[in-house]
Amino acid sequence: MILMGILGCVTGCDVAEKTNRNSVSKKKAITIAVSNTPLSAPFFIAEKMGFFANNNLHVKLERFDGGVKCFNALVNQQVDFATASETVVMFNSFQRTDFAVMASFVESDNDVKLLSLTPEKYRQLDHIANTRIGVIKGSASEFFLDSLLIMHNKTHLPIKRVYLTPAQLIPALLDNQVDIISAWEPLGYMLLEQIATKPEIINSRGLYHLSFNLIGMKQSTVDNNDKQALLKSISEAIIYIHKHPKHAQEILSQTLNIAPSQLQYSWADYTFRLSLSNALFSNIQTQSQWAIDNQLVPKENRVDFRQVIDRQLLETFNNKEAGW
C-alpha cells in the first residue's frame, strides 16, 4: 500500500511537472537583454539550470555587448527587461524616468582599474603627472579616474585625457598612444595576457563600486507575479553560484565562450546578491554629481533618482522569502 502511495505520488508529481512545463511553453516569453559579461552570471545560470522554468517562467535571454545596448533594447521595447550598470542608469535618468531599477544582482569593488604596460613607474600616484591617460568619455572609466584623482587629492596634476572607445584602449596602450588607460574588465585580464605582468598601477580596490542591475519599464506587460518569479529565479541562481562556484564558472565559460582563467581572474571581485539599498542610490547620486560637474548632462535638469528605483518589488520578494 505504501508502495502504491509512493507510485501515485511520483506519478502525480510527474504529471504536475509536465503540466507545469506545458503551461510554461504556452506562456508568452519574457525577454531579457543581458550583457555578454560574467556579471550576467545569475541569468545564464538560471537559464542553464532551469530555475526560470521551475518558477513557471518562459524566459528568453537576448545577449548584447554592454549595458548601454541592453538598456537601449529595453527602451526600444525589444525586450521586457535589461541588465545594465548604475552608470547607464544614471545617465539615462537625465533623459527619461519611465524605467525602474528592480534589483541589483552583482557588485564589484575592483572592476575598473588604471592599467599600464609599465605599472611600476606609477606606483606613486604623483608620477601620473604629464601622462596621457586613455579613457572612455562619460563612462565608468572616466568617473573612476576622476574619483581616484579626487580621493587621492591629485586633481591638480597635469594629465592629458585621450578619449577612446573600449575597443581602442588596449591597442592605443600597446601602440604607445597613451601611457595609462582607465578600463574595466576584461581589459585588465587581456592586458595581463599580453604583457605577462600585473598591469594595475595602484590597488584601487574599494574605491569604485560597479553594480549590475535588473531594469524594467514602469509600464510593462509582465505582471507582478512573473516579476516576483523572475527575482526568485535569479535568487536561486545566486544561491547556486555560491554553493557550486566551480560548476557555475564552467557554465559561464561555455556560455560566454571565454577561458576559465579569465573568469578566475576577476571572479573573486564579484559579489552576487540581490539588493536595492541606499548604497546604489548613493552611488548613482555621486556619479550624477560627477556627470553634472563635468557637464556630461544638462546641469539644470536635476533628477530625483527615487523615481527610477522600485524598491517595492524586491521588498515584497524579501518579505515573502523571510516568511513575513
Partner 1 sequence: MMLSRRLKLTAILCSLLTLIVGLSLIQVHNYQQQIYRQLNYSMKLQLSIDSLRSQLWLYQEYTDKQGLIELNNRQAELAAELSQNIDWDVQQKIIIQNLNRLNTNVRALINTQNSHHSTQTDNVAASKAERLFKAKYSMVIEEMTEEMFNLHQLSIKQAKKKQQTLLWLVGAVLLLLTTLITAWSFRTLSRFRNGLNSINQGMEALASGDLTSRIVFSDDDELSALANNFNNMKYSLTQITVKKDSLKQEVDRQTRKLIEQQDRLIFLAEHDELTGIYNRRAFIKKIDNAIARDLRSDDQAALLFIDLNKFKHINDTLGHSVGDEVIVIIAQRLRNHLRSTDIVGRLGGDEFVVWLDLIAEPIDIDQKITQLLTVIKMPMNISTHQLEVGASIGISVLPKHGTTSRELISAADTAMYRAKADNSIEYCFYQSDHGVTVLANS
* Strand (E) or helix (H) holding 221: none
Query: How many Å apart are CA 164 and CA 323, to the nearest integer?
Result: 50
Shortest separation between residue 170's beta carbon and partner 1, angstroms: 26
Q: Which is nearer to partner 1, 95 or 155 (CB)?
A: 155
Query: How many Å apart are CA 72 and CA 147, to the nearest integer?
Result: 27
Task: Using only the alpha carbons of the chain, give its radius of gyration.
Answer: 22
Q: Show Cβ contacts of residue 309 under 8 Å, excluding neighbours closer than 6 positions.
A: 100, 101, 276, 280, 281
Q: Which is nearer to partner 1, 64 or 305 (CB)?
A: 305
Q: How far apart are the first and last CA of the chain?
A: 39
Shortest separation between residue 187's beta carbon and partner 1, angstroms: 22
Q: If phi over 0 gives left and psi between -120 and 50 gives alpha, with beta otherwise, what is residue 307?
A: alpha
**Helix, strand, coil tally for the chain in percent (to 5):** 50, 20, 30
Q: Show Cβ contacts of residue 229 under 8 Å, excluding neighbours closer than 6 positions.
A: 55, 56, 57
Shortest separation between residue 238's beta carbon and partner 1, angstroms: 9
Q: Which is nearer to partner 1, 65 or 293 (CB)?
A: 293
Binding site for partner 1 (CB under 8 A): 107, 109, 147, 150-153, 155-156, 203, 205-207, 209, 239, 242-243, 271, 273, 275, 277-279, 282-283, 285-286, 289, 318, 321-323
Shortest separation between residue 252's beta carbon and partner 1, angstroms: 17
Q: Which is nearer to partner 1, 76 or 124 (CB)?
A: 124
Q: Which is nearer to partner 1, 97 or 318 (CB)?
A: 318
Shortest separation between residue 77's beta carbon and partner 1, angstroms: 32
Shortest separation between residue 5's beta carbon and partner 1, angstroms: 16
Shortest separation between residue 109's beta carbon and partner 1, angstroms: 6
Q: Which is nearer to partner 1, 72 or 87 (CB)?
A: 87
* Strand (E) or helix (H) holding 79: none
Q: Which is nearer to partner 1, 26 or 243 (CB)?
A: 243
Whether the CA torsion 81, 87, 89, 91 is positive or negative: it is negative
